[in-house]
Structure 1
Amino acid sequence: MSNLPLVSIVIPTYNRPDIFRETVASADAQSYSNIEIICIDDSDSEYGASVDVDNFVHITDHPHQNYGDALNTGLDYATGEYVMILDDDDTVSEDHVQTMMDGLSNGDYEGAFANLNLVDSSGDVIGVQDIAEEIELQPPLKELLRGRQVYRTLSGFVVNRNVVESMGGFMTEIPYWIDLEFYIRFLSRHSIYVSDTRSINYRIHEKQISGTLSLEEKLEGYQTIVDRNRDTFDSFGKDYYRYCRARHYLLVALDASEKSRMAALPYLIKMLRVYPEQLINPDNWKMNAYHIYAYILSVENDNEFELRPIP
C-alpha cells in the first residue's frame, strides 16, 4: 500500500469520445503512483465503459447534468484526500500530479495549479498562459471579481477534498462560469500554489461553452456570481461591487458592438447608470468617457464610429 495521499482524478465527459480517450490516457500516465480515475459519463453512448485502465470508476447514473453537478457527483464518489479536476478535452503532462503534490506539501496551500499550454483541436500548441507570472503582477482575487478568468479553467487543479466539501462543492445554478465562481470562493479563504511549469494542455475549440454564450447569459451568469459572493466584493470597498458590475456591462457592450453598433447601446447606458463617476478615470476602464459618449451619439445619428478599448 502506498504511503502517498490518494488523488482522485475526476473527469466529467459529454459526447467527446476521441478526445476523452487522450484525457484518460494522460491521467493514467501520471508518475505519481497513488491515483484513482473517476469518470462522470453523461454521454449518449456511455463510451467511458470501454476504458481499460487501473483504478477507473465509471459513473453513468447521473445523465445530462451541468458541469457543476457533474463535478459534485465526482466529489461524492471520490475517496482520495485530494481531488484533481480534468476536463474531457484537456490533458496533463505525466509529472503534473507529482508537481502539484510537491507544491502543496511545501507551503500553506490547499490548492495547486500550473501554467497552461494553449492547444488547438489537433493538440498543437498555439500559445501559453503563464499564470504564475500574472498573479505576481495583479492580486488574483480582485481580478476574478472583475470577471477576468485569471486561472482560465479548473482542469488540472488539485485541491484538498475536505476543503471543497466544506465550501459546499461547485455552483449548479447556471451551467457555465463554474470555474470563475469557485476560484472566487476558494481564494476568499485559501491560497493556491502555482507552479511555473507548463503541465496543463488546455484545448481551445469552437464547441467550448464559453464561446457560445449569449450576451444575456453572460450578464445573468455574472450577476449570479455577484449574488453568491457579495461579501467578498464588499471586502474591497463599498463601491467595488458597482465598479465590477459596470465594467461587466462595458465588456458585454464591446461584444455586442462586434455584431451591431445599435446592440451595444443598451449595455453602455446600463454601465453609465450603475457607475457614472468611474468614467472620469480612463486608466481604470481602458476606455475614455468621451469616446463612449461619442459612440452613443454616433449610434443616435447613424454615423460610423467604432467602440474600442484605448491601447
Structure 2
Amino acid sequence: GLCRTEHMFFEADRIAAFREMICSDTVEERKAALAKIEPMQQGDFEALYEALEGCPVTIRFLDPPLHEFVPTEEEDIKKLADAQGKTVEQIKAIIASLHEFNPMMGHRGCRLAVTYPEIAEMQTKAIIKAAINVKKNHPDWTVKPEIMIPLVGDVKELKFVKKVVVETADAEIAAAGSDLTYEVGTMIEIPRAALTADEIAKEADFFCFGTNDLTQMTYGFSRDDAGKFLGAYYDAKIFESDPFAKLDQTGVGKLMKMAIELGKPVNNKLHCGICGEHGGDPTSVEFCHEIGLDYVSCSPFRVPIARLAAAQAAIKNK
C-alpha cells in the first residue's frame, strides 16, 4: 500500500504547526515548527506499522504544493500571525507568494525537499524511529521502511534528497543500536524519469508508477480540468474511455514499459509497482502484470477488484 503523509496534517491540532513551518522566515523557525510535527508523524507511523503486522508499506514524502495548507479565513490568518509574531499583512503576503499558476507542475514533490531539506530530515526521523520501536516490540515481524521520494525528474534530485534520508536514517539506527534496514525509492510520474530510468535505477531501490500524474504529464492536460472537454472527445470517438480511469497502454504504458526495461538490467533488485486509481481497473491491472510490475496499490474500495484482476491476469499468463 501507499501512505501519503500529507493527509496527516489537516487535523485541527496539527495544521497550526504545519502552517507555522510554511510561514517561517528562517531555517531555525522552520526547524522549531517541524520539531512540533515530528512526534505526531512518529505516532502515526507507529500506529501504521502496528496495524500492518509486518506487511510492507511505501511511505511517500510530502507531495502537494504548500499553498494547499495555508489558511483562507480571516480568523485563522490572525491566529497564525499571533503564533508567528507577525502581522496579518505579513502572513497574507506569504500566502500570496505561495500562489501558483500551475500547481500540478509547480513547487511540490521532491522540489519541496530540495528547497527545504529539513522537511525530509524530519520525516525520515519519524519513519525510522517508529519502525525501530515497533520492531523492538514485535521481533517476529518484518519491519522494513520503504521511503518514497515523489516527483523526481532528474537523478540528481533523487541523489540530493536520498543523501539527506540516508545520513539521517543511519544516524538514528546507530543511536538506537538497531539492525533495522530500509529502502529508498522514487515515484515515476514525470515522463523524463521514465526516459532516464537507467540512471535513476542506480540510486533507487524501487520504482512506483504514479500513473495519475504520469497520465497528466504525458497528455499535457489536468485531471481536474479535463472534464470540461472529455465529453466532446468521447462523442467524436477520439477517446473511447477516460485516460484517468483506464490506463492509456499505448502512450503512458509505453513509458512504463520503457522504465522497467531500462531500470531492471541496471538494478536487478529493483521492484516496481503502481500507485493510483489505475491500480483498481481490471484491464490496467492485466497490463501491469504483463509488463512485469510486482504489485498494485489503489484506493481501499478498489482493492477487491484489483485482487481479482491480478489473479485472473496470473492465471491467463500461465
TM-score (normalizing by structure 1):
0.31
More helix by share: 2
TM-score by length of 2: 0.30
